[in-house]
A = this chain, B = another copy of it.
Amino acid sequence: MGNNTGSRAYKGNILYSKDKDTLISKENSYIVVMDGVVKEICDQLPNGFPKENIIDWGNHLILPGFCDMHVHAPQFLQRGVGMDRELLDWLNTYTYPNEAKFRDKEHARKIYSLFADELIRQGTLHVNCFSSIHYDASEILFDILEQRGLFAFTGKLNMDQNSADYYIETTEQSIIDTERFIRQHQSDGNVKASIVPRFSITCSEKLLAGLGRLSEKYGAPVHSHMCEALNEMKICKELFPDYKNGAEIFYKNNLLGQRPTIMAHCIFMDDDVLELMKNPNCMAVHCPEATANVNAGGIMPVKKLLNMGINLAIGSDIGGGANLSIARGIATTIQHSKIRNMFDPQWEAVNLKEAFYMATRSGGRFFKNVGAFDEGYYFNALVVDDSSVCSDDMTPVERMERFCYAGDDRNIRMRYILGKEVV
């Protein structure tokens, strides 16, 4: 147990998504794992399977680890504060002063350690995160994510205009530091470097073009925000009058779809933008809590995007969102979609299967072979213990639903990455 070589069999009530409309539920079954990779799911082990290699979780649930596909690591300590502010006001009052503190490496080490601990506590084993503009702090974040064994993408944030004077960089330095960061991390570990322009308001065209060239040169994935709030889009239009919309700014600068690309929010998208996002390289991240906090202005039309086949995931968007729990994000996704539906019946609500799929298999697509238990997928999994509130007549799907709506990290009894216990 806790060793990732040789065959192990994990027994319990296994639940994962096959696709957006299908949950696979295998009660009292075994997941057979070899060297951290799922071999098969069966209800009986072959004769002679060594007893000492069976880890029996009894009546507990075994779920894929969650994917948080949009989160700002340095905002971990400011979460839940200033929520009555509007987006740009909140950035200036809380976020920029807070992120500026990450010039101090000791501070970065302390906060990023707390952040990684909390990700794991909440069952997020796959994460796509922003850091701050600071090269050293971004390295520290990368190292901490790697030490914890997480699957992650992260990069040095870029911002050369329209920020506070104490928290900004030159175009040149931004590009130099980004290239250095990417070259430093060209290994094939589970944490990978990405290019993370904050959003187009805070990036000059020259910077975006330079980042696009780096993305092309190194095959580096991209992570940013777009189509988030109406005033953000208005400012964007004023700053980039030659572009049709926020997506085109990224697209024409080689930062949307040419390589794997994650775009947070994607709330206000016309048909042109939807067409760009249909590219299989692209993924749109719904951040339901943040949407209802500081950047209140709309809700991603999740069901429409799902039905169009656009890759979708869920993000905590700390600190616009206040909670790192993606299980809670599943419930919030459904709830907010129902509220949206109340006021526009054509705008369909999201159901449990769809939201769970977004939080696991669909988000996991960005990492490849995580977020489900197909043969060949990594055994990155959670054991959920709801015994204190479990009754005999509940199905695994109902129990997973209750965990998302009413549970918390205390229900997560064990976390595995590549078949190894995460401690």
Question: B residues within 8 A CB of A340?
Answer: 339, 343
Pairwise interchain contact A79-B406, C-beta atoms closer than 8 A: yes
Question: What is the distance, in angstroms, from A174's C-beta to the closest C-beta of chain B?
Answer: 28
Question: B residues within 8 A CB of A408?
Answer: 408
- From A62-70, A158-166, A240-248, A289-297, the one touching the partner chain is A289-297
Pairwise interchain contact A339-B292, C-beta atoms closer than 8 A: yes
- From A126-134, A146-154, A307-315, A344-352, the one touching the partner chain is A344-352
Pairwise interchain contact A83-B334, C-beta atoms closer than 8 A: yes
Pairwise interchain contact B401-A292, C-beta atoms closer than 8 A: no
A404 at the interface (CB under 8 A from B): yes
Question: What is the distance, in angstroms, from A148's C-beta to the closest C-beta of chain B?
Answer: 19
Question: What is the distance, in angstroms, from A350's C-beta to the closest C-beta of chain B?
Answer: 9
Pairwise interchain contact B289-A335, C-beta atoms closer than 8 A: yes
Once A296-B349, A331-B322, A349-B296 are accepted as A-B contacts, the answer to whether A406 and B339 lie under 8 Å apart by CB is: no
**Partner of A402 from B80, B297, B391, B401 at Cβ < 8 Å:** B80
Question: B residues within 8 A CB of A389?
Answer: 77, 114
Pairwise interchain contact B339-A402, C-beta atoms closer than 8 A: no
**Partner of A297 from B342, B352, B405 at Cβ < 8 Å:** B342
**Partner of A342 from B79, B299, B391 at Cβ < 8 Å:** B299
- Binary interface encoding of chain A residues 321-364 relative to chain B, with 1 for a CB under 8 A from any of its CBs, else 0: 01100000001001110111111100001011000000000000
Which of chain A's residues 167-216 have a Cβ closer than 8 Å to chain B?
none
A275 at the interface (CB under 8 A from B): no
Question: What is the distance, in angstroms, from A412's C-beta to the closest C-beta of chain B?
Answer: 14
Question: B residues within 8 A CB of A338?
Answer: 292-293, 296
A81 at the interface (CB under 8 A from B): yes
A376 at the interface (CB under 8 A from B): no
**Partner of A398 from B82, B293, B334, B336 at Cβ < 8 Å:** B82
Main secondary structure of the interface of A (DSSP, over half): helix
Which of chain A's residues 16-75 have a Cβ closer than 8 Å to chain B?
none
- A401 and B94 alpha carbons, distance in the complex (Å): 14
Question: B residues within 8 A CB of A81?
Answer: 394, 398, 401-402, 405
- A389 and B322 alpha carbons, distance in the complex (Å): 13
Nearest residue (CB) in B for A335 is: B292
Question: B residues within 8 A CB of A405?
Answer: 79-81, 83, 293, 322-323
Pairwise interchain contact A342-B296, C-beta atoms closer than 8 A: yes
- A12 and B191 alpha carbons, distance in the complex (Å): 44
Question: What is the distance, in angstroms, from A80's C-beta to the closest C-beta of chain B?
Answer: 3
Question: What is the distance, in angstroms, from A39's C-beta to the closest C-beta of chain B?
Answer: 33
- A386 and B131 alpha carbons, distance in the complex (Å): 24
Question: B residues within 8 A CB of A401?
Answer: 80-83
Question: B residues within 8 A CB of A336?
Answer: 292, 339
Pairwise interchain contact B398-A352, C-beta atoms closer than 8 A: no
A104 at the interface (CB under 8 A from B): no
Question: What is the distance, in angstroms, from A331's C-beta to the closest C-beta of chain B?
Answer: 7
- A83 and B340 alpha carbons, distance in the complex (Å): 16
Nearest residue (CB) in B for A397 is: B81
A84 at the interface (CB under 8 A from B): yes
Question: B residues within 8 A CB of A77?
Answer: 389, 391
Question: What is the distance, in angstroms, from A395's C-beta to the closest C-beta of chain B?
Answer: 9
- Binary interface encoding of chain A residues 258-283 relative to chain B, with 1 for a CB under 8 A from any of its CBs, else 0: 00000000000000000000000000
Q: Which residues of A contact B (CB under 8 A)?
A: 77, 79-84, 114, 289, 291-293, 296-299, 322-323, 331, 334-336, 338-344, 349, 351-352, 389, 391, 394, 398, 401-408
A-B residue pairs in contact (CB < 8 Å), sample of 8: A79-B405, A80-B405, A80-B406, A81-B405, A82-B398, A296-B341, A322-B406, A323-B405
Closest 4 CB pairs of A and B: A80-B405, A80-B406, A80-B402, A292-B335
Q: List 12 additional contacts besides A83-B334, A339-B340; criterion CB under 8 Å.
A: A80-B403, A80-B407, A81-B405, A83-B401, A84-B334, A84-B351, A292-B338, A292-B339, A298-B342, A322-B402, A323-B405, A340-B343
